[in-house]
Amino acid sequence: MASNAITAPPARKKVAMHDGFLKHAGYRWLKISSALMLICIVSYIFIDVSPRHNGGSWYGYTLGTIGALLILWLTMLGVRKRAMTPGQWSLKAWTSAHIYLGLSLIVIGTLHTGFQLGWNIHTAAYIFMMIVIISGIVGIYFYATIPKALSDNRDEMTETEMLENLRSLDRQLHEAAQPLSAEHATLVLQSLEQDPFGGGFFQRISGRYPDCATRQAQADLRRERAYQPKMGGDDPLDKVDALLEKKEATLARVRRHLKLKAMLQVWLFIHVPMTFALIASLTAHIISVFFYW
């Protein structure tokens, strides 16, 4: 009876609504990776390899094998990410492991070299590995910081809405510009004909479009009208000017969105091809070592 009365409340289970790939499972993979790095460093210091540490000692082979297998496994994220599944081996868990085990490669790879670097294929493989890791770190940084900026900038607009917004403004501009003279119409036309998603990679990533026709059109129109007396009534140029200003604001939002999205993607354009360069040079490294050995 008494025991019934004093039943302890069930221990509250901490369930986070959402934790990112970095914090996944209470930093489980950070802990595993740190332990791995620590083991490597301590064993490197205490294991006496004769004549000195290098990739060709038994210890070097061990680190090299672990590192090579790790690289192949890390590459498999590219395959794995195409199938999102929940649970212990969810994509998030996999990504978390990818990041932290990838970082541990810095230690494993560097100790495998025994700090013997030079102008050769072996160091080339090491450099490729470091490029992949560093681009990955940049990627982590972007993934940790950009989504919020992206969300703030979108202001609850979808990408489709942004595009439709531009189209609508263009239609209105076209309509409003009909009564304009040929010269003025040309200015508006330039704005209409310029690809809002155009520009090269550097314009995209920097968000700077010095040859923006919309801004140019607005500036030219304003400069021209600055000393002209107000016509009053229904000057079509007033409407065009207001529309150009609206379009410029929308373009600014779109371009910032494009810039942030570009940053989210650009590191992968290094990370992924360099991974394959790494795997190729790793193959050459391993084969060459046993070829001339």
Of 101 and 217, CB closest to another protein: 217
Least distance from another protein to the Cβ atom of residue 238, Å = 17
Site for another protein, residues 18 to 57, rule: CB under 8 A: 47-48, 50-52, 54-57
CA pair distance 135, 269, nearest whole angstrom = 9
Out of 46, 115, 227, 291, name the contact with another protein by CB under 8 A. 291
| Residue 22 amino acid letter | L
Q: Which region among 4-12, 33-41, 102-110, 179-187 touches another protein (by CB under 8 A)?
A: 179-187
Of 93 and 188, CB closest to another protein: 188
Site for another protein, residues 222 to 261, rule: CB under 8 A: 257-258, 261
Least distance from another protein to the Cβ atom of residue 59, Å = 7
| Residues comprising the chain, all counted | 293
Structure-block tokens of residue 60: 């070097």
Exposure b/e, 109-148, CB count within 10 A at least 16 = b: bbbbbbeeeeeeebebbbebbbbbbebbbebbebbeebee
Out of 152, 181, 224, 231, name the contact with another protein by CB under 8 A. 181
Total interface residues for another protein by CB under 8 A: 76
Structure-block tokens of residue 13: 């289970």
Site for another protein, residues 99 to 158, rule: CB under 8 A: 116, 118-122, 124, 128
Q: Is 211 in the site for another protein (CB under 8 A)?
A: no
Least distance from another protein to the Cβ atom of residue 279, Å = 7
166 with 196: CB under 8 angstroms? yes
Out of 23, 31, 148, 171, name the contact with another protein by CB under 8 A. 171
Using DSSP, state whether 186 is helix, strand or coil: helix
Q: Cis ω on the peptide bond leading into residue 86 (within 30° of 0)?
A: no
> In this structure, what DSSP letter does residue 231 have?
-
